[in-house]
Amino acid sequence: MKKANLTVVIVAVIVAGLGLCGNRTSADPNAVVTDFTGKPRVNLSGSCPLIKYIYTADASAIVENGRVYVFMSHDKNNATKYTMDDVACISSSDMKNWRFEGMIYNHTQTTENLIWAPTVVKRNNTFYMYYGTGYSGNIGVASAPNILGPYTYKGILYHDTSRKYTDPSVFIDDDSQAYIYYNGRVTIKYAKLSADMISLQTTPVDLPNSRFPDFIEGPTIVKIHGKYNLTWSEGRGSRKYNLLQNVSSSPDRDFKTSSMFMGEPTCNNQSSIISFAGTNYSTYHNSNRTGSGFRRDVGICYVKLNTNGTMDPVTATTAEVAQISYLNPYITQRANEISDCNGIDFDPNAAVGDQYVVASTGSWVKVSGVDFSTAPASVEISAASPNSGQTVQVRLDSPTGTIIATINVANTGSWFTFGTFLATISRGPTGVHDVYFYYSGGLNHKTYKFNNLTGNLSAKVP
């Protein structure tokens, strides 16, 4: 289902301190955009899918502690209808390598069977998640002390008998008043949230003096240069699933005129706008990989914000957004913070924030933009397998690239008992490379770290 995202964007905000080397920030969000190496970004293009090993949609992005967190509906692998019943989360500090944080919330924590279009906001050091509950017309809410939870179910915020699915979006204005927007029957409804963020201050009504021709779902509001920009998906007329935008001087009325924001004919869609490290982005989703509107992929693209409150129209393509900082290989890194993969899976029972790569023979993961400032002498990984004879090859720049190390993984006794395994690197690379971990045999791979010194190369098996 499509989702109404909650993101509050202050256009001039600069989020500093992300990444491990090579930061770039710009105080002007409308300046000519370059990546952190100085190369101009010519087109407003997008990265999609952000992750390949599950299907995702209805993204809501939020910036916290130098990382972008994206909360998403989880489309099931063989879905033929909307059966999303849990919330997936990924995060990144460089906009290229994305870490799967896990399924952070699911329907068993609620009184409902489905969870659609999650959106997360932060207020007073508490995180609030709002979501639709399938075709019930309910808006659910949960809260957590940390961005990854654990989220506690707070009940049904509102039941709307006029609309089966709600796609809620929450926006906190500069005066601290919070608003919720969601799908009305043929238009967009809104209400003021109470200060506790889990109850309504006003009864939801249609946005007055506003017009949303062919509205279907997914309202998302963001503040741009003092104006309120409301994006939404059309789907009732001859044009299907384009994202349109309306601009008003007030958050609660006068969204009169529509213009194009993002053309996306393959399936329903919705946006989530963030500013991160001096650059503006929008999430979206499509069904290009499967051809099914029930198995979708979340992507991200650049957006240009204008002084009149509009955003330039975007064509989201398969081209990728630029990496904004290189990865430091000499500290422990999560093995599932990757830019591409083949044949891997995830463990739905692994703890949130402690996910790992579930690998099999012939599978691989790619880590983009690894900065070998000095040549490494060894590499170590944390891995688990109940079998013997598993190997992990470390390759450069392609899945069939130069092998710089082969790590032997011994039997650790179970899939969930992790040991440390090491290998020497005879001719360590220097400079920036993409690193591939290529797997032979079944194993779970949690972390890796390159070392400047050879050190003790005895495997630490539990």
Instruction: Domain 46-302: give its CATH superfamily.
Output: Glycosyl hydrolase domain; family 43 (2.115.10.20)
Asked whether 218 and 265 are in contact (CB, 8 A), the reply is no
CA angle 438, 442, 446 (to 5 degrees): 70
Local confidence band at 289 (pLDDT 50, 70, 90 cut-offs): confident
> Higher model confidence: residue 267 or residue 202?
202
Q: pLDDT per residue over 346-396, tens digit each?
A: 998 899 999 999 999 999 999 999 999 999 999 999 999 999 999 999 999
Burial pattern 53-67, b for ≥16 Cβ within 10 A else e, equals bbbbbbbbbbbeeeb
Asked whether 443 and 461 are in contact (CB, 8 A), the reply is no
Q: Is residue 15 scored above 50 in pLDDT? A: no
Residues linked to residue 381 through DSSP beta bridges, in sequence order: 421, 448
Q: pLDDT per residue over 223-272, tens digit each?
A: 999 999 999 998 865 567 889 999 999 999 999 999 999 986 678 888 99
Local confidence band at 32 (pLDDT 50, 70, 90 cut-offs): very low
R_g over Cα of the chain: 23
pTM of the model: 0.88
Kindly list the distances between the CA atom of residue 194 and the CA atoms of 157, 178, 179, 219, 457, in Å, as whole numbers in the listed order: 11, 7, 9, 20, 58
Percent of the chain with pLDDT over 70: 86
Among candidates 231, 163, 155, which has minimal Cα distance to 199?
A: 155
At 179 the pLDDT is 98
How confident is the model over 4-31, as a mean pLDDT?
29
The chain-wide mean pLDDT, for the chain, equals 87
Kindly list the distances between the CA atom of residue 400 and the CA atoms of 164, 381, 382, 396, 403, in Å, as whole numbers in the listed order: 50, 20, 23, 8, 8
At 40 the pLDDT is 31
Residue boundaries of the structural domains of the chain: 46-302, 333-451
Instruction: State the Cα–Cα distance between residues 35 and 129, nearest whole angstrom.
Output: 32
Instruction: State the Cα–Cα distance between residues 331 and 310, nearest whole angstrom.
Output: 42
User: What three-state secondary structure class fits 107?
Assistant: helix
Architecture, CATH, for domain 333-451: Sandwich (2.60)
Instruction: State the Cα–Cα distance between residues 381 and 372, nearest whole angstrom.
Output: 17
DSSP 397: S
